Structure 1
Amino acid sequence: MDAYSLAIILVVFASFFQGTFGLGMKYMAPLKWEAWWLVQAFVAMILIPVIWALIVIPDLFNIIASTDSSTFWTAALYGFLWGIGGILFGVSVEKTGISITYGIVMGLAASMGCIIPLFQIEGAFSQPSFPIILAGVLLLLIGVGITAIAGVKRDKLKNKNEDSNNKSIKTGVLIAVASGVLSAFLNVGFSNAAPVAKIAVDNYGTSAQNASLASWVVVLIGAFAMNGGYAIYRLAKNNTWSSFKVKNSKKAYLWAIATGVFWFAALGVYGQGAALMGDLGPVIGWPILLGLALIISNIWAYRAGEWKNANGPFKILIGGLAVLITAICILGYANY
């Protein structure tokens, strides 16, 4: 098997984790959100990345210590900005609903997270694959938009008797746009942390595939600073520290840990696949990851009965997924 075929397989595998990890968020009770989130964020952004990286890169901390400070702080800052986007996602859902929010955020995160790293590559416009990448991203946006419309129509069928607050929805859409742009910075941070991986490869003999984990450790330091910091702020503000000791919380803790493991499994495996793709890895791999993850999350939603008695919207969804698959094939071809 050639390296590019393996890269695509790894990104497809990663998309399964990306499209599945959110299932654990349905099982937070009886823990408070902030307690559950702090556990999940620590496992996802600190514990698993560091342990996995140390297993394959014993010199991890020496590599990070020898990284140029500007590279370190830039990558960590992008991770921090992504963390803000994640918080805004939750706010938008409350005002707008999951379907509209998810469609906007996924579309912007996939496209911006692809285009920004592409433009940071020297001579990006002269790349032979440039027009193919743009066509794939445009089609991906169309596919995400169609799936979002399907979700909105499904929700309208289920909430016929509920009045909508147009002002709240408009505010929610603006927040979702901000969330989508900021969410793209996770991949931008990974792309900008490439010098960390290069040190691991050049100075410590690490394979490019494993060296990608060192990049994630740096980016996720910033991500945890935002996510963990916000959870601790909520714990202090609401005085909910006792939530950690609530009875019958074992299942919630297990789901928090499993969610964290699945979340970083998506990034870790994606990073390895992107590394095998070369310089265009973050450009090609990221939209493929999110596009496939959207398909997988909708499969889980279908199995959970969320599309029951919504035949019309479900047909629209199938059309949107078909467009997404086509876009993913185009993006995969762009770097072949």
Structure 2
Amino acid sequence: MDTYFLAIILILFASFFQGTFGLGMKYMAPLKWEAWWLLHSFIAMIVVPGIWAFIAIPDLLAVIAQTDNDTLLLAAFFGFLWGIGGILFGVSVEKTGISITYGIVMGLAASMGSVIPLFQIEGALSQPSFPTIMIGVVLLLVGVAITAVAGVQRDRLKAENDSMDKSIKLGVIIAVASGILSAFLNIGFSNAAPVAQVAVAEYGVGTQNASLASWVVVLPGAFAMNGGYAIFRLIQNNSWGSYKNPNSGKAYKWAILAGIFWFAALGVYGQGAALMGNLGPVIGWPILLGLALIISNIWGYRSGEWKNAAKPFRVLLIGLAVLIIAICILGYANY
């Protein structure tokens, strides 16, 4: 199979996981948010990537030990910044609603997470694919904006009052900060490339599997923020007893499944991006998030979120069509 075609297939699979893992958040009860989130983030950011990476790279610890400390610290720091963005996402949702927040965050995370690694490549402006990539990224932003507008129109039809209007400006500012910080997950992965290079050059690991080493050094920083904040909430609210709630088996199951799906998205995406070469994080990341947005809306439609909202749904279809065109352009950019 052609390497680039295989890379695209892998990112398609990753997008399915990315667009699906959020379904688990509908099954938090009877666990408190912080109890569910601590378990979920530990599975997603520590357990699954660690087990997968050790299976694929038996000498993982030696690979990490041989990598420059500055690279490791920077990668973990970028992961920590992404973690802050994730917490701000939740704050913004409380103030503006999921549709506005999701649109802003996805658009900024996809575009900045693509453009910043692009400009870190030496001679980025002279890359033959540079104009095509920029056109694809701009179209992706347009598509995300249209889907956000559709979501806002849908929510207005269902809202009984406009109680969020007073806090919407602050919510938008927080969402912008979340979107910028959320881009650092991919920036961290891109800057952790030296770890994967050591695995390939010194230990004969395949390019696909070597990408897992990059995630292993980025995600502890992400967990430090997510897990730390969850523990803070558990202490603040004295909600440790939530773990003992009866009939919480389904919540535990979905916390684990959502964690597996969350890293499956990143792990498979990383393998696809690695096969694309230097431009993998530049092109693969916006494709991942764009397709994930499409898939999450498909799940939303199936669950009845767009019921009795015919006009907003037509707007959504326009946005999804623009996203598909943008994804095709980005896919072509590195062909």
TM (norm. structure 2) is: 0.99
CA distance in 2, matches of 1:95, 1:120: 35
Residue in structure 1 matched with residue 286 of structure 2 by the alignment:
287
Residue in structure 1 matched with residue 244 of structure 2 by the alignment:
245
Residue in structure 2 matched with residue 318 of structure 1 by the alignment:
317
What's the offset of the Cα at 1:237?
1.1
The runs of at least 4 consecutive aligned structure 1 residues that moved more than 6 Å come to none
Q: Secondary structure at the match of 1:72?
A: helix
Q: Secondary structure at the match of 1:325?
A: helix
CA distance in 1, matches of 2:143, 2:192: 30
CA distance in 2, matches of 1:119, 1:164: 42
Q: Which amino acid aligns with 2:93?
A: V
Task: State yes or no: 1:186 paired with 2:185.
Answer: yes
What's the offset of the Cα at 1:165?
3.8
CA distance in 1, matches of 2:142, 2:265: 24
Q: Which amino acid aligns with 2:234?
A: L
RMSD: 0.6
What's the offset of the Cα at 1:245?
1.3
CA distance in 2, matches of 1:9, 1:48: 22
Q: Deviations over 1:104-160 (max 9, x none)?
A: 00000000000000000000000000000000000000000000000000000111x
CA distance in 1, matches of 2:207, 2:78: 22
Matches within 5 A, 1:6-155: 6-155=6-155
Unmatched segments (≥5 aa) in structure 1: none
Matches within 5 A, 1:179-328: 179-328=178-327
Matches within 5 A, 1:165-176: 165-176=164-175
What's the offset of the Cα at 1:164?
3.5
CA distance in 1, matches of 2:261, 2:318: 28
What's the offset of the Cα at 1:243?
1.1
Q: Deviations over 1:7-31 (max 9, x none)?
A: 0000011000000000000000011
| Distance change (3 Å), C-alpha of 1:240 and 1:303 | same
Q: Secondary structure at the match of 1:206?
A: coil
Q: Which amino acid aligns with 2:5?
A: S
What's the offset of the Cα at 1:199?
0.4
CA distance in 2, matches of 1:131, 1:85: 29
Q: Which amino acid aligns with 1:234?
A: R
What's the offset of the Cα at 1:163?
2.2
What's the offset of the Cα at 1:98?
0.3
Q: Which amino acid aligns with 2:239?
A: T
CA distance in 2, matches of 1:136, 1:149: 20
8 A contact 2:96–2:164 mirrored in 1: no
